[in-house]
Amino acid sequence: MLTKKQLLEVDHLKQYFPIKGGFLGRTVNHVKAVDDISFQIFEGETLSVVGESGCGKSTTGRAILRLDEPTDGTIEFDGVDLLSLSKRKMRKKRKDLQVIFQDPFASLNPRQTVKKILTEAMAIQNVVPKHQREARAVELLETVGMNAEQLDRYPHEFSGGQRQRIGIARALSVDPKLIICDEAVSALDVSIQAQVLNLLKKLQRQFNLTYLFIAHDLGVVRHISDRIIVMYLGKVVEIADKKSLFDNPQHPYTKALLSAIPTPDPEHKKERIILKGDVPSPIDPPSGCRFHTRCPFATDLCKQEEPQLRNLSMMKEGHQAACHHIEKIYAGQPPNEQSQENEPTLT
């Protein structure tokens, strides 16, 4: 790839949800689900967004699809500012922006046959002439590893993995440019999950698809991504290509996250950083660096000042992390002002 073409650019995106309360149901506060994040997706790549519950990864996906109206920021898709589009134009635009959800059962209409599900999507966007739609539906089913005999069945007659395949076929039916996969394989058994992951990779090669892959499982993410964004409490803490992120993580949260995953290899004992405490509430997030309440290296600076994403000499081009102390931690001399309760356990 000489020149990568940018497909999506998210700039200073904010998504606040009001909390109603009090005597007259006034807005008393906001859940800052996504708080000023920016990133780009290039054509043909898979960009993953990872993080724990409440980090804002799914909210980001919903904001791009305008399933929620973002509070602030811009989203430019294929040269068009999505947030400035009218509802009608946005509906048309969804042809290029498809989504696959976690629960395939909930996202397929139980009263429609597979044929109806697939042809309806084509009819709404009017991408395929009417008389060709059925043939196209068969073709799609075969593309996702199913067959024409299954065209007249209903979603409940399929297993979870097959339903997810139908969801993928539906997304493909309108020839989208970007597919947002929101925890698309999380609910599947591991043997089925592997099938669906392989399918997604195959389809990407075949149709030059671009994925925004939202997931919490870092194994899945490593397998499918080109680049990865790590989010924590509505902020991007680190963004890097896959290799850099797994081999050379810089942010203490990324390191802890990676070390926390159980490795399916009993002989491989690694150093584990166990974070103390829970993720704080996004209603009243910590000041400064949002991770400082759990970070083993937090100093007064971290409590006061919000770190910006930075690229330093030991990081590859495009690799950025938002931490005040990257250099010191990298040099093996982390600042040592942390309070006792944040002390990590190393095992």
Partner 1 sequence: MSEEIILDINNLRTSFFDDDGEIKAVDGVSFKLPKGKTLGVVGESGSGKSITALSILRLIDSKGKIVDGSINFKGKDLTKLSTKQIQHIRGNEISMIFQEPMTSLNPVYTIGQQIRETLKVHEGIGKEKGNKRAVELLQLVGIPSPEARLKQYPHELSGGMRQRVMIAMALACKPDLLIADEPTTALDVTIQAQILELINDLQDNLGMSVIMITHDLGVVAETCDYVAVMYGGKVVEYQDVISLFKNPRHPYTVGLLNSIPRHDIDVEDLEPIRGSVPSPKNMPKGCHFAPRCPFATDLCNAEMPSLDHLGDDSDVRCWIYSDRWDGDPEVNVVDQKTTS
Residues that bind partner 1 (CB under 8 A): 52-53, 159, 161-162, 189-195, 197-198, 201, 216-224, 246, 256-268, 272, 274-276, 278-279, 345, 347
Q: Find the shortest distance in angstroms from Cβ 218 to partner 1.
A: 4
- Extended beta strands in the chain, E state: 6-21, 26-42, 46-50, 72-77, 80-81, 97-100, 178-182, 210-215, 227-232, 235-241, 273-274, 320-321, 345-346
Our CB check for partner 1 shows the closer of 81 and 284 to be: 284
Q: Find the shortest distance in angstroms from Cβ 28 to partner 1.
A: 19
Q: What does R_g of the chain's alpha carbons equal in angstroms?
A: 22
Our CB check for partner 1 shows the closer of 8 and 228 to be: 228
Q: How many CB atoms lie within 10 A of CB 261?
A: 13
Our CB check for partner 1 shows the closer of 53 and 313 to be: 53
Our CB check for partner 1 shows the closer of 145 and 335 to be: 145
Our CB check for partner 1 shows the closer of 88 and 268 to be: 268
Structure tokens at 110: 């139980």
Our CB check for partner 1 shows the closer of 59 and 119 to be: 59
Q: Find the shortest distance in angstroms from Cβ 159 to partner 1.
A: 4
Our CB check for partner 1 shows the closer of 96 and 217 to be: 217
CB 75 within 8 A of CB 8: yes
Whole-angstrom CA distances from 222 to 68, 125, 225, 228, 257 are 29, 34, 6, 9, 13
Q: Find the shortest distance in angstroms from Cβ 62 to partner 1.
A: 20
Helix H segments across 173-308?
A: 190-207, 218-224, 242-247, 252-260, 300-304
Our CB check for partner 1 shows the closer of 206 and 345 to be: 345
Q: Find the shortest distance in angstroms from Cβ 271 to partner 1.
A: 12
Nearest CA-CA partner of 97 in 180, 166, 38? 180
Q: Find the shortest distance in angstroms from Cβ 95 to partner 1.
A: 30
Q: Find the shortest distance in angstroms from Cβ 168 to partner 1.
A: 15
Buried b (16+ CB within 10 A) or exposed e, 167-189: bbbbbbbbebbbbbbbbbbebbe
Counting Cβ atoms within 10 Å, is residue 241 exposed (0-12), middle (13-18) or buried (19+)? middle
Q: Find the shortest distance in angstroms from Cβ 196 to partner 1.
A: 9
Write the DSSP string, 125-180: HT-S-GGGHHHHHHHHHHHTT--GGGGG--GGGS-HHHHHHHHHHHHHTT--SEEE
Q: Find the shortest distance in angstroms from Cβ 264 to partner 1.
A: 4
Q: How many CB atoms lie within 10 A of CB 270?
A: 11
Our CB check for partner 1 shows the closer of 125 and 204 to be: 204
Whole-angstrom CA distances from 170 to 189, 226, 289, 325 are 22, 24, 41, 46
In residues, how long is the chain? 347
